[in-house]
Amino acid sequence: MGLFKPEIGLVFWMLVAFLIILFILAKYAWPVIIQSIEQRAEFIDKGVRYTREAQQRLEEVDQKVQEILAEAHQKQLLSLQETERMKKEMVEKAKQEAAGEVKKMLEEAKISVERMKRDAEGQLKQQVSRLSLEIAEKVLRKDLAQDTAQMELVGKMLEELETKS
């Protein structure tokens, strides 16, 4: 049972050895250990700060990207609206030009029809005049004593004219 009840001398020398080892550790080992722990803590703190700064920068960049995307979307929307407006203007202009061309063509057609009508009327008058002169010439050549003979001659001449036409 000597192991469980140490003697005072043994305890004294164990205490002296412990204090010497504690003094040596405190003088030489603890400063190195504490310095390396502090360096490690500082390294971890720097890593945390760097991570926070990087995260903050990432958030700022993400926000800028969102703003740029929103601006690009807005520009695209404005561009589409401008294109739509220009398309409508072009269609309207084309319709107006087409309507103007149609109106011009109708007016030209009316003028042409009027001219053709006048020409036809002039030709008809010339034919009627010529036919009238031919009829009158034939009537004068023939000696007619009676009205019935004149009527027969005019009817005969009209029949000839109708067959010629």
Average pLDDT over residues 22-46: 93
pTM of the predicted model as reported, rounded to 2 decimal places: 0.41
pLDDT digits (tens, 9 = 90+) for 100-115: 999 999 999 999 999 9
Instruction: Copy the structure tokens of residue 96.
Output: 């107006």
- The C-alpha atoms of residue 40 and residue 20 are separated, in whole angstroms, by 29
Amino acid at 57: R
Going by C-beta distance under 8 Å and a sequence separation of 6 or more, which residues neighbour residue 87? none
Task: For the chain, give the mean pLDDT.
Answer: 86
